[in-house]
Amino acid sequence: MRRHILLAASALVLAGASASAVPLARVEGVDDPALNAAIARIVGEAPSHSDNRWRNRERARDAGEQIRRYLDSQGYFAALIDPRLDDDQRPLVRVRPGERFTISTLDILFETPANSARPGEDIRAAAGLHTGQPMRSQDVIDAEAAVVEALRNNGWPLARAGEHVFTADHLDASVSVEMRFDTGPFLRFGRPQLAGGLADIREDYVASLAPFNAGDPVSARQLNVYTQRLQALDSVALAEARLAPEGEGSDNIRPVDVRMEPTPRHRIQLSARYATTEGAGAGAEWARRNLFRRDETLTLTGRASELNTGGEAALLFPHWRRFAQTLEIGTGVALENTDAFEQDSISARATLSRPVTDQLFASAGLSAQIARITDAAGQRTLNSVTFPVSLAYDNRDDVLDPQSGIGAELEIRPGLTFGDTESRYVRAVLGARTYFPVSERLLFAVRGRVGALFGVDAQSVPADLRFYAGGGGSVRGYGYQALSPRVIGINTGELEPFGGRSLVETSVEARWRYSQRLGFVGFVDGGVASSSIEPEFDDMRFGVGAGVRYYPGFGPLRVDIAAPLNRRPGDAPVHLYISIGQAF
């Protein structure tokens, strides 16, 4: 109790001190409201009024000196500043700013070595200064930095600022500006070369990632981009690209030294999850980096759960044939056993993807599958070939725990099926999610997803290409695939779950971050899968729930409890979900 009283008293003292703060000195003589407000901010405050004349004189002098420095920085070189005491012996500064000085002449001069290229007018223009503008110190500082940057990014990587000369003329309130720069030699890029480190990557592959061509003017910015590209390689832990030392190369052509340190050659990952609707599941992944010395990654994945058991092998070729273009080929085996179907399949795929912009990504591919299916329509074998094309947009700030941004994807998958049934179809899915921060601790997350299967009925395609709703990744509170169409089984004569031709899903979450490690969530999910191409919104059902998030540092651990709002006979009253990462 005593500690709370002391804290409250301290807060009152601080609040009283803030309330009694006064300007360090009163300012007179400035007619321009904007300039007067700026000077008031520069002068600042004192804790309280003082009745000591000597202290007040010192405050007036301190305020006057701050005003003088500020006015000089803004081009008021002829300002008159008179610190004194007013009639009440309080600190006062009388200010007469005078006329603001402007730039009358501007010369940007370059000192270059003999037989070296000289900068052109585009480099001078980078300064952004012009005659007639106010002589502000910050403008000159920014101009100096801009010219040096322009030089270093256009062939003069050793450029630096020289001695500048400023001559003020008080008769016409003008300043003559002469800025000097030492450019150093003009250099061009040579070929990249491996100069150190232990990363076992082919030198021609390393050179292909350079954002410049041999013979281009040296650019410090492009060297930084090159370093970032190398650092982003999966098989590289640390990378650096810089110009080779003087003496290497000829005719002002300087090779680029590349040094890299490797990551461990192999990677192993384990995962586990549990939901009352889908049961327990576990997975393991083994990866071999830099398989053919061009940063390729071979990944072997295995999974086991009550619904889906299988494995996949995938080979990733980053920067395939051009920078940022990725080729991935893979093959897999899956044994699926759900309430709606049993499907054993073997598949193979190839996907080519590349960024369109920093946030927009495109991909196209080919996928083939042989599947043996047992469901309400009986047992049959379906072979399918599809040609998926997709666009994905993502500007979210974090994948596992996004706080802002939008994520969206559109996939259109034309395909054909042959075997016991022949058909041609197009499967389309559009999904999006976004986030609305309300405060530092509270945000709302919204998700939507729609899908449709055109040109064919549901039983003519493999079971995993139909649409299903219900479960942890769909509508929490309902069983896995429980909101999907039901048909009369051929063998049982009873209604059995079956996939649909269309899908609608939506979710809203309120996420509250209680502390650095702990958070809470409330949510509403809704959805339905329909046998017709038009969604049957009358059958749409909703689940509500709450969850806890624990943040160990790499992303939240998620525990959710949900219940159905439109409970039907056979629906469980509550479901539990445990996983890693936010729901969306």
Average pLDDT, the chain: 91
Number of other CB atoms surrounding residue 64 within 10 Å: 22
Determine the Cα–Cα distance for residues 193 and 111; give it in Å rounded to an integer: 31
Q: Is residue 200 part of a domain?
A: yes
Determine the Cα–Cα distance for residues 56 and 50; give it in Å rounded to an integer: 7
DSSP class of residue 9 equals H
Do 63 and 210 share a domain, yes or no? no
Question: CB of 513 within 8 A of CB of 528?
Answer: no
How far are the Cα atoms of 299, 350, 449 from residue 363, in angstroms, in the given order?
Answer: 20, 10, 20
Q: Is residue 233 part of a domain?
A: yes
Do 440 and 369 share a domain, yes or no? yes
Do 224 and 282 share a domain, yes or no? no
Q: Is residue 67 part of a domain?
A: yes
Looking at residue 17, what is its pLDDT?
41
Quote the number of domains for the chain: 4
Determine the Cα–Cα distance for residues 324 and 295; give it in Å rounded to an integer: 13
Looking at residue 4, what is its pLDDT?
42
The residues with which 508 forms a beta bridge, in sequence order, are: 446, 524
Residue 29 sits in a domain whose CATH number is: 3.10.20
Do 91 and 170 share a domain, yes or no? no
Do 381 and 510 share a domain, yes or no? yes
Q: Is residue 13 part of a domain?
A: no
Do 348 and 494 share a domain, yes or no? yes
Residue 315 burial class via C-beta count within 10 angstroms: exposed 0-12, middle 13-18, buried 19 and up: middle
Which residue range forms the structural domain that includes residue 459?
266-580
Distance of CA 522 to the CA centre of its chain: 26
Do 450 and 525 share a domain, yes or no? yes
Is 0.85 topped by the overall pTM? no
Question: For residues 382 and 399, which has the higher predicted lDDT (pLDDT)?
Answer: 382
- Which of 166, 182, 198 is at the close of a domain? 182
Question: Is it the case that residue 12 has pLDDT exceeding 50?
Answer: no
102-111 and 378-386 beta bridge pairing: unpaired
Do 272 and 258 share a domain, yes or no? no
Q: What is the residue type of 523?
A: F
Determine the Cα–Cα distance for residues 435 and 423; give it in Å rounded to an integer: 40
pLDDT tens digits for 109-158? 999 998 888 999 999 999 999 999 999 999 999 999 999 999 999 999 99
Q: Is residue 166 part of a domain?
A: yes
Do 200 and 324 share a domain, yes or no? no
Q: Is residue 493 part of a domain?
A: yes
pLDDT tens digits for 44-63? 898 998 889 999 999 999 99
Which pLDDT band holds residue 71 (cuts at 50, 70, 90)? very high
pLDDT tens digits for 197-221? 767 899 999 999 999 999 999 999 9
Residue of 314, 325, 319, 322 lying closest to 347 (CA atoms): 314
Determine the Cα–Cα distance for residues 211 and 216; give it in Å rounded to an integer: 10
Looking at residue 15, what is its pLDDT?
40
Q: Is residue 8 part of a domain?
A: no
- Which of 244, 262, 280 is at the close of a domain? 262
Q: Treating both helix axes as pointing N-terminal to C-terminal, what angle do 53-73 and 137-152 enclose, rounded to 10 degrees? A: 40
DSSP class of residue 458 equals G
Do 300 and 383 share a domain, yes or no? yes
- Which of 232, 262, 292 is at the close of a domain? 262
Residue of 407, 411, 409 lying closest to 581 (CA atoms): 407
Taking the alpha carbons at both ends of the chain, their separation in whole angstroms is 44
Find the mean pLDDT for residues 367-381: 90
Least confident of 12-26, 338-352, 388-402, 507-521: 12-26
Q: Is residue 126 part of a domain?
A: yes
Residue 160 sits in a domain whose CATH number is: 3.10.20.310
Q: What percentage of the chain exceeds 90 in pLDDT? A: 74
pLDDT tens digits for 492-503? 777 888 889 999
Do 368 and 415 share a domain, yes or no? yes
Do 132 and 207 share a domain, yes or no? no
Question: Is it the case that residue 411 has pLDDT exceeding 80?
Answer: yes
Which pLDDT band holds residue 306 (cuts at 50, 70, 90)? confident
Q: Residues 345, 346, 352, 353: is their CA dihedral positive or negative?
A: positive
Three-state SS annotation for 184-206 = CCCCEEEEEEEEEECCCCCHHHH
Determine the Cα–Cα distance for residues 261 and 238; give it in Å rounded to an integer: 5
